[in-house]
Structure 1
Amino acid sequence: MQTDRDRIAALGERLRAYRLGTGLSPETLADRIGVSRAAMYRYESGQPIRVDKLARIAEVLGVSMATLLGAGSEYTSSPVTFFSRMQQLEEQADEITVLFGPVSYLLTTDGFDRLLPRVMAESIPAEAPSRTRSVQEIGTIMELLARRKEVWRRRRMAVRSIVSVAEIEQFLHYGFAGRADLGHGARETRRKVARDEVESILAMIEAPASGISVGVIEDSMPVGSFQLMRYGRTRVLVQSPFRLGTFANIRIGVAQLSAAEEAVRLHEEVIRNLWDNALKGAWAAARLRRVLSG
């Protein structure tokens, strides 16, 4: 059960994530709400916040007080806020079940990370009205993703990843690319990177590390990617339009984080059905080998 101290600390984490999503520095936000920079750092570190100041923070950040307080569901259209909240939740998680295609980010290789900034940049159309800001945010997103992997490697929480044959085939066909119109040489290089990622997943299936389990499904995947995190008796559902694979999306959509009992229960049922019908172990490995040789 969460204590009052836990709730205040979580409020500070959400405040920081939503501030990052607006691109405001702690100093700028402090100035806008009329407090000192030191006070803002205290708020984000988990110290109590007066209600009137919290209301003003919510107004400046463009979110509801309920969102900052974690009362109900959180919604954000900012990929920076979303990935920051993911990192914060994973700091506490005991177990993560992932339906983010084509492979779970936490299980990707260093080669994936090296190419990811370029893939994100090339996924943003030249004529996109928010292109300049989106490109500028890539560095922040990569910092947050690096922290996520560092947390996972340090804590080794259990990760259960469900991957779709159809999405793997698409990944191998187009390669790890942000758009489809790359030249022949670039396309072949990106296909090699995609193949390396699938072979890495295959290796995890054939020689599973502690805490990692992978299921391969032939069935259709849900339209939206989602993830369930468990820490203690608490379960949080994370739904996101943001993608880090082929044809990445770091601009458009609304992500949702919710601990609502019914939403969590229904998605747990979806996961249970998918996992029960997924290929595992030698069967999963054989299916991925056929995909790789196809």
Structure 2
Amino acid sequence: MADIGGINFEDVGARLRAHRIGRGISPEELAQRIGISRAALYRAEKGEIIKIETLASISRELRVSLPTLLGVGVEYISNALAFFERMRQVEEQADQIIGLFSPISYLVTTQYYDEILQDVFLESLHTDQQADANRLLKILSKRKQEFARRRPLLASVISSIDIESFLRDGLEGRHGLPFAVRAARRRAAVDEVRHIIGLLRAPDIGIQLGVSPEPFPSTSFQITRAGDQSTLTVSPFRLGHNPNISVGVGFITSAPEAVELHDSIARVLWEGSLRGQAAADHLENLIAQAKEQESNHPHD
């Protein structure tokens, strides 16, 4: 692994690849644009050292700053494809993951959730964006597969308030869907929450879940630890109900202050959260309340 002056070129290559994917540019096209061979670009994405002038040309073509590619300071990402690919790359090295994602961490969702998410994305996007949605689903699926294979420790805090909304609204990509579709999506939400209840009552090794009654931050975030390295990812993008995979600026950083501040938020929410049987019972009550509300207002 090449590491010169504190810059890890394997990480540089991973960022390069993520931003290329985010821009929808093939390796052949990018190599042609900057005047290098496909093999040279492949080596760059594998982390082999390349000239700074070449890296600068790549950054211009990908419309990302050179400091971001080098991992100097904060890495800003305005594209959901690039963001979730970078998240996948960071998770690939993780020993521990601490997550606050709404309404639940994607990593502990079922396979059926992925199937519905495809419909939800297509409902929410214009026709010319649907190819990006399919590429994003592949990245997300790979994240989940790698998590299941590697099994890093996961501590995830779930918002009780967000779960209430999730159960009430289900998984919808837009308003105005037919009643039968909305009813099916609410049932799908119930199934996902029941899956979480199962994990709370009979936890998988290495997975810790808490249900917090406190309000969550407006943006989701995740802290990954790999050895003595901690990385913070802050996401403006939203999966599930009324998804947002089009607009926003996420960021990734290992700056100690940013990691520590977000870690303190996670600790406070974790310490105040329900866990185990108490959390499972609470979610069962939320399901019962959602079903009662639906029976009282069957066509809402």
> So what's the TM-score if we normalise by structure 2?
0.93
Query: Matches of 1:3 and 1:293 in 2, distance apart?
Result: 55
Query: Matches of 2:9 and 2:88 in 1, distance apart?
Result: 18
Shift, 1:3, TM fit: 4.3
1:31 aligns with 2:32: yes
User: What's 2:71 paired with?
Assistant: 70
Is the contact made by 1:95 and 1:231 (CA closer than 8 Å) also made in structure 2?
A: yes
Query: Matches of 1:206 and 1:52 in 2, distance apart?
Result: 56
Q: Which amino acid aligns with 1:260?
A: A
Instruction: Give the fraction of aligned pairs with identical amino acids, expressed as a percent.
Output: 44
Show structure 2 runs of 5+ residues with no match.
Answer: 290-300
User: What's 1:22 paired with?
Assistant: 23
Query: Matches of 2:232 and 2:88 in 1, distance apart?
Result: 14
User: What's 1:127 paired with?
Assistant: none
User: What's 2:293 paired with?
Assistant: none
Is the contact made by 1:242 and 1:248 (CA closer than 8 Å) also made in structure 2?
A: yes
Shift, 1:283, TM fit: 1.2
User: What's 2:169 paired with?
Assistant: 174
User: What's 2:246 paired with?
Assistant: 251
Query: Matches of 2:28 and 2:3 in 1, distance apart?
Result: 29
For residue 252 of structure 2, give the secondary structure of its aligned residue in structure 1: strand
Q: Which runs of 4+ in 1 moved over 6 A?
A: none
Is the contact made by 1:134 and 1:250 (CA closer than 8 Å) also made in structure 2?
A: no
Q: 5 Å matches for 1:136-215?
A: 136-215=131-210
Cα displacement string for residues 96-130 of structure 1 (whole angstroms, at most 9, x for unaligned residues)? 11111111000000110111111011122xxxxxx
Count of aligned residue pairs for this structure pair: 288
Is the contact made by 1:66 and 1:72 (CA closer than 8 Å) also made in structure 2?
A: yes
Q: Which amino acid aligns with 1:204?
A: L
For residue 209 of structure 1, give the secondary structure of its aligned residue in structure 2: coil
User: What's 2:54 paired with?
Assistant: 53
Query: Matches of 2:156 and 2:175 in 1, distance apart?
Result: 26
Query: Matches of 2:143 and 2:225 in 1, distance apart?
Result: 16
User: What's 2:280 paired with?
Assistant: 285
Q: Which amino acid aligns with 1:172?
A: L
1:276 aligns with 2:271: yes
Query: Matches of 1:32 and 1:133 in 2, distance apart?
Result: 24
Query: Matches of 2:288 and 2:7 in 1, distance apart?
Result: 50
Is the contact made by 2:156 and 2:208 (CA closer than 8 Å) also made in structure 1?
A: yes
Shift, 1:244, TM fit: 1.0
Q: Which amino acid aligns with 1:207?
A: A
Q: Which amino acid aligns with 1:143?
A: K
Is the contact made by 2:154 and 2:207 (CA closer than 8 Å) also made in structure 1?
A: yes
Is the contact made by 2:2 and 2:10 (CA closer than 8 Å) also made in structure 1?
A: no
Query: Matches of 2:26 and 2:237 in 1, distance apart?
Result: 24
1:8 aligns with 2:9: yes
Is the contact made by 1:236 and 1:264 (CA closer than 8 Å) also made in structure 2?
A: yes
Q: 5 Å matches for 1:96-111?
A: 96-111=97-112
Shift, 1:164, TM fit: 0.9
Query: Matches of 1:12 and 1:2 in 2, distance apart?
Result: 11
> So what's the TM-score if we normalise by structure 1?
0.95
- The CA RMSD measured in Å over matched residues stands at 1.5
Q: Which amino acid aligns with 1:244?
A: L
Show structure 1 runs of 5+ residues with no match.
Answer: 125-130
Query: Matches of 2:134 and 2:179 in 1, distance apart?
Result: 28
Shift, 1:2, TM fit: 9.1
Query: Matches of 1:58 and 1:108 in 2, distance apart?
Result: 35
User: What's 1:128 paired with?
Assistant: none
Query: Matches of 2:103 and 2:122 in 1, distance apart?
Result: 19
Please, which moves more after superposition, 6-15 or 83-92?
Answer: 6-15
Is the contact made by 1:174 and 1:180 (CA closer than 8 Å) also made in structure 2?
A: no
For residue 114 of structure 1, give the secondary structure of its aligned residue in structure 2: helix
1:89 aligns with 2:90: yes
User: What's 1:231 paired with?
Assistant: 226
User: What's 2:298 paired with?
Assistant: none
Cα displacement string for residues 117-169 of structure 1 (whole angstroms, at most 9, x for unaligned residues)? 11011122xxxxxx344211011101111110111011001111111111001
